[in-house]
Amino acid sequence: MNNVNVFRQFISILISKDIQADGRSFFELVALNDQVPDDDSKILHEIISCFLVLMGTETNPQYQSAQTRLSDYSEQPKWNQLVSFLDTGLKNIPGEIRQYIQENPEFENKLIAALRTFSDKQDLEDILGALRAVLFPEGIDLDGPGKREEKIASLRQKRNVHIEKLNPNPVENPAVEMVFTSNMLLTIPLTTDEDKWHLSPSLKSRAGRIMDEAQQYWYDHPIPLGTAPENNEVLYGLQGLEEMLKFEASQNNLPEEAKLTVILSASTTHNGIHPLVKDYFSYLLENAEPLSHINLHIFTEDDTEALLNEVLIPLADHFGMADSIQALRDVFGVDGEYGRHYSFLKAVTAFWQVFINPQIKATFKIDLDQVFPQQELLEQGGFSALQHFTTPLWGASGRDEQGREVELAMIAGSLVNHDDISKSLFYPDVQFPSKEKLTADGLVFYSALPQAQSTEAEMMCRYDGKNLDGSKEVIQRVHVTGGTNGILIDALRRHRPFTPSNIGRAEDQAYLLSVLFASQPALRYLHKPGLIMRHDKQIFAGDAISAAASGKKIGDYVRILLFSYYGRALPWPMEKTKDLIDPFTGCFMTAISLTIVYLRFAFEILAKLNQGSIEAAIDFASAGAARLNKLLDWLLADDNPMKEIYDYEKSGWDLYYSILDETENAVKKEDQFVLNIKEKMQKIARNTFIHT
């Protein structure tokens, strides 16, 4: 039997009415109408049904009709983009399946076993098990509590690191030796009614002039200029940091007169916002509680351009490093996809160490809708926030479960949701979902399961003095969040990790991938139990999060495609990467990414139609097809363009860190040109300073 036909049989039976579970058919909607549909919802239903029928075998009696009808819809302007997207899947999925079976013959056996299960079994657990064995092996045995504990324990064992040497030069005074960073996303006011803008008259006038400017970038829920101070999460996060530092001072953990350096990147949707940012936050802070323990700097794209043109590029010329200058220009900045500002916020702290403050040893990133719950940290964890950073385990070296040398020069904390902290500081922010929440798209890909597993195994791990004593035996982290993670700057400069600047989701998860097996010892995250921030996102962005749910799901599809292609672009086998980063981060990296994305997309639309969410289904189909068509045009046009992205951007970051190394040496030699450039940098730094 042709191995692709085995897969097509799998799809045909999957979408048939014959698979029942607890009296329910999984996909009753997948059928073509006898008559031509007469409204948009019926047309959309038929288009998706045609696609799924054509994914299956040609023996389906509706196969020829599906071909004809889908071709007819491709001629209609309203539907041609969607049909074009689906046609791309029909043309490319068979090749993806064929290649995967050639590389992994066991996959064909899983398909055959699933066919047997579909034929012989009607129990939901059996059917889900067969589906997951083929499409989502990361979710196997996680639906019920039976084997969860075993899998959590197994993952902890896999993450184990045996410590051989502690950091001889750990962080001692975090407020003096660390830089905290975060990103803020800014957009134009939501309304044209200037009376509702919480801005000064001057700022209102300047903001008014950019209301008709073309939008350049899109983010999930940026902060509109003029948002009321009490609803501004940047102000909230900064004041939360100030409260954290006041608490440290009350515990005598803060040197007298010490101020924590905080660097924010300002990513904007419109270029005209750049010159308003600093004045806007100066205005906000005028009427807010003073940030007396913080030195605040804000970098816009204009500031990063100044760093490039006045500091980095002249130094590259001075040191004879002409190669990769354009790559450096392209990677160094804060506007664009999330990966760009994420890499900047790490990299700029190395810059700070060389040009501004050589005392700086480390950096830590937070999200501004998170705060340190100091009282709970001390009472339930035994350490205040800053005390966590003084452990000599941060920067320790050892060996993982496979005997690889690792350097725990990164550090990762955890989150507790605002509404859960009353239960416990150690209450997981992601829990195993109930079976009732399983959706049609969850039959194909259900990341909530491995996310909950990895949250319990990694984030909630406490060194109990037994198997994991927190001294000789610790765990490394793979699953990290965009906030609550840091890196020692010495290691940052040696290992040079980065997130590709076209990564728009899970930029935090992608950061370590760039250097996962690049050197020995390998760079890894130390898990620090009790380093927990309270996540208050729902206070600020509950409505925005709900409104962005469809966009987030499409972003998940983009994440699967980019991570999967990125996994094959890295200079070591994808199987080796996936073996380490499974289950949660790894579930987005799959050899059958097109298959997963197209099935998820189709089933999500059918589910919305079945629920009566007609407008949502049509909008989702339109937005998803537009966004994914553009991405696939790029991904499928060449032999994995993520390889070119990785090599190109790596050259840019290598140049950046080499410039810093050469600058440091030149300063020691009192190179006058470099000393003059250093003065320019200090002037730029003063320009980014916000008086608090």
Asked whether residue 577 is domain-assigned, the answer is no
Task: Indicate if 120 and 50 belong to the same structural domain.
Answer: yes
| 522 shares a domain with 485 | yes
Q: Out of 143-147, 208-212, 232-236, 400-404, pick the least confident.
A: 143-147
| Strand pairing class (223-224; 178-187) | parallel
Does residue 627 lie within any of the structural domains? no
pTM of the model as a whole? 0.94
In a domain, residue 642? The reply is: yes
Q: Distance between CA 306 and CA 688 in Å, rounded? A: 11
120 and 173 inside one domain: no
Q: Do 408 and 529 lie in a common domain?
A: yes
Side-chain-side CA neighbours of residue 475 (13 Å): 29
| Range from 104-118, 183-197, 371-385, 538-552 carrying the lowest mean pLDDT | 538-552
The answer as to whether 232 is a domain residue is yes
**Amino acid code (one letter) for 596:** I
pLDDT digits 0-9 by tens, 618-663: 999 999 999 999 999 999 998 899 999 999 999 999 999 999 999 9
pLDDT tens for 144-185 read 767 899 999 999 999 999 999 999 999 999 999 999 999 999
Model pLDDT, residue 31: 60
- 96 & 244 share domain: no
Residues 7 and 108 in one domain: yes
Same domain for 9 and 97?
Answer: yes
The per-residue DSSP string of 25-76 comes to ETTTT----SS---SHHHHHHHHHHHHHHHHS-TTSTTHHHHHHHHHHHTTS
Say whether pLDDT at 340 is over 50: yes
Q: Same domain for 107 and 254?
A: no
**171, 85: one domain:** no
For residues 416 and 413, give the distance between their C-alpha atoms in angstroms, rounded to a whole number: 10
What is the average pLDDT score of the chain? Answer: 92
Question: Radius of gyration (Cα) for the chain, nearest Å?
Answer: 26
- Whether residue 513 lies inside any domain: the answer is yes
Cα–Cα distances in Å, from 60 out to 22, 54, 56?
Answer: 26, 9, 8
Is 648 among the domain residues?
A: yes
Residues 307 and 250 in one domain: yes
Same domain, 197 and 104: no
Under 8 Å between Cβ of 538 and 612: no
- pLDDT value at 24 more than 60: no
Mean pLDDT value across residues 535-541:
76
pLDDT at residue 29, as a whole number: 56
Residue 22: band (very low, low, confident or very high) from pLDDT cuts 50, 70, 90:
very low
Q: How many domains does the chain have?
A: 2
Examine the pLDDT at 472 and tell me if it is beyond 80.
Answer: yes
Report which of 481, 510, 485 is spatially closest to residue 498, judged by C-alpha positions. Answer: 510
Q: What is the mean pLDDT of residues 226-230?
A: 90
Domain hosting 132: range is 3-137
Could you tell me if residue 588 is inside a domain? no
Q: Is residue 14 part of a domain?
A: yes
Q: Which amino acid is at 82?
A: L
In degrees, to the nearest 5, what angle opens at C-alpha 658 toward C-alphas 653 and 660? 100
Q: Would you state the pLDDT for residue 210? A: 96
58 lies in the same domain as 201 = no
